[in-house]
Amino acid sequence: MAPITTVHYLVVAAALFILGVIGVLTRRNVVIVLMSIELILNAVNLNLVAFSRIWGLHGQVFAIFVITDAAAEAAVGLGILIAFFRNKETVNVDEVDLLKW
Amino acid sequence: MLFLDHIWLIPLFPAFGAAVMFFFGRKLQKSTVNAVCVGAVVLAFLFTCCAFSQYLGYQHDNPGKPYQVNVYTWLGTDTGGMNFVKYDGTPAPFHADVGFLLDPLSGIWLLFVTGVGMLIHIYSTGYMAHEGGYYRFFGYLNLFMFSMLTLILANNYVLMFVGWEGVGLCSYLLIGFYFHRHSASTAANKAFIVNRIGDAGFLLGMFTIAWYFGSLRFTDVNHLAHSGHFTIGDPVITAATLLLFVGACGKSAQLPLYVWLPDAMEGPTPVSALIHAATMVTAGVYMVARSNALFVLAPASMKTVAIVGALTAIFAASIGLVQNDIKRVLAYSTVSQLGYMFLALGVGAFAAGVFHVFTHAFFKALLFLGSGSVIHAMSGEQDMRNMGGLGHKIPITFRTMAVATLAIAGIPGFAGFFSKDEILWQAWSSEGGAYRFLWLIGFATALMTAFYMGRLIVLTFFSRPRMSHEIEHHIHESPKSMTMPLVILAFFSIFAGWLGLPHSLGGSDRFAKFLEPVFAREERVLQAEEPTKLAAAEKEQEHTDSMEYMLMGLSIAAAFAGLGLAWKAYSHADKGYTEPIAAAAPPLYGLLYNKYYVDEAYDYAFTGRRKVGDVRLGVMGLGEASSWFDSHVIDGTVNAAGWMTRFAGTLSSWWDKWIIDGVLVNGPAVLSRIISYPVRILQWGLVQWYALVMVFGLVGFVAYYAWR
């Protein structure tokens, strides 16, 4: 069985990234959109960790930052979502258009 | 002054009788009805006699003063309350009293109205004995007496108008007494409606007087008229008097409102005698005589009265020449005689006019009652063509009617001679001959009167019997209750005239002298009449008396000629006789027989019953045409304007909606919307769209740098 190379990681990461982008663009539920963003971020993390095999530990350190950032982003995003739900009683992203005009 | 102070009781006697009849009449015996109703009128008559004799004494102490009793103030007060504005802007209190006035004029009227009324009531007990609605008849008669006495005794125009309307109502009720007969009810309607036209004139005249004089009391109005405040020929007074005369024309059956009186003969004969011959129809004469102080201030009105009177006299007399219904002849005779009275009033001879009213009341009532007796004898037949030879069968009726005929024809010694001659003489001598034409008309009328009365007597009592055997078998003289009044009236038809025996015949003209205070003219009116008077007097100076004798001779000749002609023409009349006028001039006969087609003309002009196709003729047609014009042309124009406005509005709204709003307002908006579309999609408002754009942008960048 052939050894797992960096390219394999990259492929998985690209697949995750594309799934995440599609989720962000197509799902109406903000919670799922946030989850898709997590997917995108984790795809990036996978890339960073994969490349740290070649260029040293910098990538892993950066991945920890990204994880922290993701946690913060999820906290803020869900906070906004709760505030929004209290006003409009909905979590659908296409109804978030108060600033349209 | 017991009776004089209580003259207001006189109308109340018959009013009481009428009230009893209306409330309890149905249950009463005929004898009770007689006692109540006839008794009431007898009481009124006796009371009148007593009051009149007391008034003579009163007048002896207060020459020329009328006696007034104010029972109570009916409308307004003397000092205020109901004010109105007079013609000169000053306020005047409106008041109308239930007040009664006795002066020579109303005294004479009272005497003959109650006297003749009493006789006719007695006569009616016999005449109506076999009729239904006995109590109703007497109730109406008493109500009539009440109204007539109110009219006569009133001391102001308002109360007079109450009586005036009251007699009109009773006239209506009594003409329509046989209400089951269509002709009677239509005749009653006709009388009522035609009278209403006159009443409108009376009312307007009354308002004008109130507006101009500020009072409607006769004494106040007379006082003001005599005060010299108003000029002779004052246009307002002329208008007021002309309006009053319209009222008189309606009530007293003058041209052009006389048409109701001949039809009024549909009522029972005593009614014709009482209301439509002796009393009610003279109300117009009374009213004009009562307003004499106003009329002398309006020479134009006087001329109108005289001319209308004279024309009516000859017009009605000529119709009377050829009528076949005995009552109809008398009806036209009444219209004609009323014309005489107005002629007298119009030429300023008020006393002569009143004198004729007085004598006429007796002989015309007698003629009608006599004709009633004839109809009674003939079992209801009224057509003179079916009578004849009754003279020896009903002698009392015949003799009394003959007396009345001689009186109305103007045979010397009988009442009508004195009064009619007085009128003709006054017409001749007044205004210096300006009225001689009117004298000529009066003279011709006298000739006609003698002829048609002669014709009536000859066709009824002489000539050959022309009735059926059955009727002939039934002919009988009327009962005492009917003949007794005839005899009394015949007595007065002879002697009433002697009261006014003129100077020229050695009398003292007592009648005119008695009335002098009522008709006294003030100095300036006499002066205004002076120039013409003087001119006439100059001519007459030499032969006043001889002239009067000559005119008298002429009218006596006319009376005899008329009667003689009638005798010659009809004394041998047998079944199917021909009328001499019909033989001589058929078209003229047709014209007279059909009463100059006046009823037909009125029918075409006023009633609206005549139609050509769908178009109504006359005034009603005019009304209908106006209505059509209004609803089609005027309203059509309005509607057309409306439609046009609506169309313009629609157009304007369409223009606004599609051109202004659509093109000019929305157009730029739509345009900018279209133009702004590419820009707008950048701000779609959909978060995921932004994200998609970012993704494509990213892909674009990456692709660009990858394949550069």
Instruction: Give the chain A residue nearest B681 (alpha carbons).
Output: A100
For B101, phi and psi rounded to 5 degrees?
A: -130, 125
What's the whole-number mean pLDDT along residues B190-210?
92
Predicted confidence (pLDDT) per residue in B368-404, tens digit: 999 999 988 888 888 888 888 888 888 899 999 999 9
- Rounded to a whole number, what is the distance in Å from the CA of A68 to chain B's nearest CA? 23
Q: What is the mean pLDDT of residues A47-64?
A: 91
CA angle B418–B423–B429, rounded 5-degree value: 120
Name the pLDDT band for B590 (thresholds 50, 70, 90): confident
Q: How far apart are CA A79 and CA A81, in angstroms?
A: 5
- Whether the Cβ atoms of residue B334 and residue B364 lie closer than 8 Å to each other: yes
* DSSP letter string, B485-537: HHHHHHHHHHHGGGGG--GGGT---HHHHHHHHHHPPPHHHHHHHHHHHHHHH
Are A24 and B683 an interchain contact pair (Cβ–Cβ within 8 Å)? Answer: no
Please report the beta strands in B279-382, taking only residues with DSSP state E, as ranges in sequence order: none
Distance (Å) of CA B112 to CA A32, B523, B578? 126, 32, 40
Locate B680 and state its tokens.
């707008």
- Give the tokens for residue A94: 């296409």
Q: Cα–Cα distance between B592 and A61 in angstroms, integer?
A: 145
Helix (H, G, I), strand (E, B) or coil at B464: coil
Put simply, the answer to whether A25 touches B684 (Cβ < 8 Å) is no
Residues B354 and B289 sit within 8 Å (Cβ to Cβ): yes
Please state which of the ranges B121-135, B327-341, B515-529, B682-696 shows the lowest mean pLDDT: B515-529
Cα of B693 to nearest chain A Cα, Å? 10
Take residue A28 and report the two structure tokens written for it.
């109406």
Is pLDDT larger for residue B548 or for residue B625?
Answer: B625
pLDDT of residue B434: 61
Report phi then psi at A29, rounded to 5.
-75, 125
Contacting residues for A69 by C-beta, under 8 A, at least 6 apart: A41
Q: How far apart are CA A39 and CA A26, in angstroms?
A: 14
Helices B436-461 and B326-346: angle between axes, nearest 10 degrees: 160
For A53, phi then psi, to 5°, come to -65, -35
Predicted ipTM? 0.84
The rounded distance, in Å, linking the Cα atoms of B653 and B203 is 58
Residue B387 CB contacts under 8 Å (≥ 6 apart), including other chains = B326, B374, B378, B381, B459, B460, B465, B466, B467
Nearest CA in chain B to A93: B687
For B585, the token pair is 């001039």
Q: Strands of B345-460 (E only): list them.
A: none
Query: Inter-chain contact A24–B691, Cβ cutoff 8 Å?
Result: yes
Write down the pLDDT at residue A35.
93
| Chain B residues within 8 A of A97 when measuring between CB atoms | 685-686
Chain segment B109-164, per-residue pLDDT in tens: 999 999 999 999 999 998 888 888 889 999 999 999 999 999 999 999 999 999 99
pLDDT tens-digit series, residues B221-243: 888 888 878 888 889 999 999 99
Residue A12 has pLDDT above 80, yes or no: yes
Per-residue pLDDT reduced to its tens digit, B277-294: 888 999 999 999 999 989
Record: contact B691-A26, CB cut-off 8 A: no
State the Cα torsion B693-B695-B699-B701 to the nearest 10°.
70
Q: Can you read off the two tokens belonging to residue B75?
A: 């409308």
The β-bridge relationship of strands B67-75 and B611-612 is unpaired
Q: Is the pLDDT of residue B53 over 70?
A: yes
Q: What is the mean pLDDT of chain B?
A: 87
Output b/e per residue, B226-238; b: 16+ Cβ within 10 A. beeebeeebeebb
In whole angstroms, what is the distance from residue B682 CA to residue B642 CA?
Answer: 54
Whether B508 shows a pLDDT value over 80: the answer reads no
A60 pLDDT tier (thresholds 50, 70, 90) = very high
Give residue B41's pLDDT: 93
Closest CA to B3 of B107, B158, B118: B107
Q: Quick one: which of B469, B475, B463, B482 has its CA closest to B379?
A: B475
Residues of B in contact with A99 (CB under 8 A): 685
Q: In the Cβ-directed half-sphere of B611, how many Cα atoms lie within 13 Å?
A: 7
Are residues A100 and B685, on separate chains, in Cβ contact within 8 Å?
yes
Instruction: Please write the tens of the pLDDT for every residue from B32-44.
Output: 999 999 999 999 9
A97 touches chain B (CB under 8 A): yes
The nearest alpha carbon in chain B to A21 belongs to B695
Map residue A4 onto helix, strand or coil. Answer: coil
Tell me the one-letter amino acid at B235.
Answer: P
With CA atoms as reference, report the closest residue to B514 among B48, B45, B108.
Answer: B108
Q: Is B421 in contact with B294 (CB distance < 8 Å)?
A: no
Interface test with B, best of A25, A27, A30, A32 (most B CBs within 10 A): A25
Instruction: Supply the pTM of this predicted model.
Output: 0.77
- Predicted pLDDT at B542: 46
Report how far apart, in Å, the C-alpha atoms of B364 and of each of B337, B400, B490 are: 9, 11, 10
Please write the tens of the pLDDT for every residue from B234-270. 899 999 999 999 999 999 999 889 999 988 888 899 9
Is B688–A96 a contact, with Cβ atoms under 8 angstroms apart? Answer: no
- CA pair distance A80, B452, nearest whole angstrom: 127
CA–CA gap between residue B328 and residue B333 (Å, rounded): 8
Closest-approach residue (CA) in chain B for A98: B685
Region label for B438, one of left (φ > 0), alpha (ψ between -120 and 50) or beta (otherwise): alpha
Asked if B102 and B122 count as a contact pair (C-beta separation under 8 A), the reply is no
Least Cα separation, residue A99 to chain B (angstroms) = 7
Using CB atoms and an 8 Å cut-off, which of residues 8-67 of chain A contact chain B?
Answer: 21, 24-26, 33
Given a cut of 70, whether residue B535 has pLDDT beyond it is no
Identify the three-state secondary structure at position B93. Answer: strand
Average pLDDT of the residues in B207-227: 88
Report the C-alpha gap between B199 and B194 in whole angstroms: 9
Cis bond upstream, residue B479 (ω within 30): no
Which residues in chain B are contacts of A100 at CB distance < 8 A? 683-685
